[in-house]
Chains A and B, each alone.
Chain A
Amino acid sequence: AQSVAQPEDQVNVAEGNPLTVKCTYSVSGNPYLFWYVQYPNRGLQFLLKYITGDNLVKGSYGFEAEFNKSQTSFHLKKPSALVSDSALYFCALVRHQTGANNLFFGTGTRLTVIP
């Protein structure tokens, strides 16, 4: 089955510390992976995507993600967390189906950055 999994419902990190939000994927063929963030009472915002190329993808707001094919992972990282990074983070995968493709989202990880 083509899917993504976010093993942690909640991640807490101190302000200024590095943060990691985990995502693993399962797909037949090449994966197309995304990270989106959702702030309270707002829609989702695109952070970054991996289609092909460099395994380290840089995105918005200082975030980056590392694509690891052998571990089937696409973890989101940031060197120094800000309180304003507190939000709900979603990993997503393009799921290929006959005649159609759609975006499959993980269950989300709530990140809390503690001042």
Chain B
Amino acid sequence: KAGVTQTPRYLIKTRGQQVTLSCSPISGHRSVSWYQQTPGQGLQFLFEYFSETQRNKGNFPGRFSGRQFSNSRSEMNVSTLELGDSALYLCASSGSGTSVFNEQFFGPGTRLTVL
């Protein structure tokens, strides 16, 4: 089985722009979660989608949004980029209905740099 894939792997944007990141979960997995990893704040939960519905949301501003498609692929969007949004964005998929209680499979991440 192919693992979780994320595209693009690296991205450079400037302040004020917007960006869309993509995640393809493991085949058959219906839950997709997104995390932000920075040296200062560590790993922080952004949101989780299950069957095209946002099920959980972390403590991030409304500039961060996401969606999930019927094939379970997910996209994450950040509008009006700020320098502090520079981070590694990780996507994780889970095969069970309640991902937080079970093993999550992480992709390699998208490294976003905001200049």
Q: How far is the CB of A42 from chain B (nearest CB, A)?
A: 6
C-alpha gap A13/B101 in the complex (Å): 31
Indicate if B25 sits at the interface (CB-CB under 8 A).
no
Residues of chain A contacted by B56 (CB below 8 angstroms): 100-102
User: 1/0 contact trace for B96-107 toward A, CB 8 Å?
Assistant: 001011111111
**Residue from B43, B48, B107 in contact with A105 in the complex, judged by beta carbons closer than 8 Å:** B43
Which residue of B has the minimal Cβ distance to A97?
Answer: B56
| Total count of chain A residues near the partner, CB < 8 A | 21
Residues of chain A contacted by B90 (CB below 8 angstroms): 43-44
| Residue pair A100, B57 in contact (C-beta under 8 Å) | yes
| Residue pair B107, A104 in contact (C-beta under 8 Å) | no
Main secondary structure of the interface of A (DSSP, over half): strand
| Residue pair A45, B106 in contact (C-beta under 8 Å) | yes
Residues of chain A contacted by B64 (CB below 8 angstroms): none
Residues of chain B contacted by A108 (CB below 8 angstroms): 42-43
Known pairs A102-B58, A103-B45, A108-B42; A43 contacts B101 (CB<8 A): no
Known pairs A94-B101, A100-B56; A43 contacts B108 (CB<8 A): yes
| Residue pair A46, B100 in contact (C-beta under 8 Å) | no
**Residue from A41, A42, A90, A102 in contact with B100 in the complex, judged by beta carbons closer than 8 Å:** A102
Residues of chain A contacted by B104 (CB below 8 angstroms): 44, 46, 103
